[in-house]
Amino acid sequence: MVSARSMSEREFIDDRAIEYYSRRAEYYDLAVEAFHCISPQTIFGFIPEEFKFPGQKLLDIGCGTGLSSEPFFRSGFSVYGVDGAPGMLEQFRAKGFARELRLIDLNRERCPYGNGFFDQVVACGVICFFPDPSFIISEASRTLKNGGLFSFSYKPFDTDKRPNLIASSPVVYRHAPGDVNSLLIQSGFSLIKSMFYPAFRSCRGYIVYHAVTVAQKK
């Protein structure tokens, strides 16, 4: 099982991921459409309807160009976002619907918001860049109100194996659902539901499956 580590002990996200997405930010939304990626809609759709009501504050960790935030905005949420890639934030900012966007180092900086500031937190396709996702999960817990939801997607194993490096550029990782669920419990969450889903079609034509999870802060 993966245990939470201190910031000094953690393995960090590969800096190439930030550079990669910043360089491709202008075309990112087109690529998502071309590969039929459905993660942003899947996360929003997976959240129970009783938790979707106007006036809530949403934090999008690793918000990118805002694709995962947009369904929440359309439902009346106030959207805040943090990301490490300046180019992606520039594209998000141009869409004009975020209340606030911040550039932060997701490896080393806490989200610039107080404890319990948000009603919901999302992290779409972010955890896969971290060999140890405990910091992202703990930050979601810290910034959420009691009873708030953390909804996220990640690359899973279909069995409880150790986190696994995928040979790609930028570097990405798979995580065992059992490990992810244990980290959620350690950070004060209870699991509401989780499932595998067909996230996108690869450039070689096969379907890539991810996991989506919704957890509630106790």
**How does strand 164-166 pair with strand 144-154?**
unpaired
> Does the CA dihedral 36-40-43-47 come out positive or negative?
negative
CA distances from 159 to 44, 163, 175 (A): 25, 11, 10
More confidently predicted of 128 and 7: 128
Return the CA Rg of the chain: 16
Residue 92: pLDDT above 50? yes
What is the predicted pLDDT for the residue at 181?
96
Q: Which amino acid is at 67?
A: L
Per-residue pLDDT of 12-68, as tens digits, reads 556 677 788 888 899 999 999 998 899 999 999 999 999 999 999 999 999 999 999
- Mean pLDDT over 95-116 rounds to 95
- Mean pLDDT over 105-117 rounds to 93
Which residue ranges form the domains of the chain, and what is each CATH number?
15-217 (3.40.50.150)
CA distance 150 to 144: 8
**How does strand 144-154 pair with strand 172-174?**
unpaired
CA distances from 105 to 81, 94, 124 (A): 13, 21, 17
Q: Report percent pLDDT > 90 for the chain.
A: 72
More confidently predicted of 205 and 114: 114
Q: What is the DSSP string of 165-200?
A: EESSSS-EEEB-HHHHHHHHHHTTEEEEEEEEEEEE
Q: Which DSSP state fits 76? A: T
Q: Which amino acid is at 2?
A: V
User: Which tokens is 198 given?
Assistant: 């067909």
Per-residue pLDDT of 131-147, as tens digits, reads 899 999 999 999 999 99
CA distance 157 to 218: 27
Average pLDDT score over the chain: 88
DSSP reduced 3-state for 154: strand
Q: Which DSSP state fits 14? A: P
Give the pLDDT band of residue 212 (cuts 50, 70, 90): very high
What is the predicted pLDDT for the residue at 4?
42
Nearest to 96 by CA among 111, 81, 114: 81
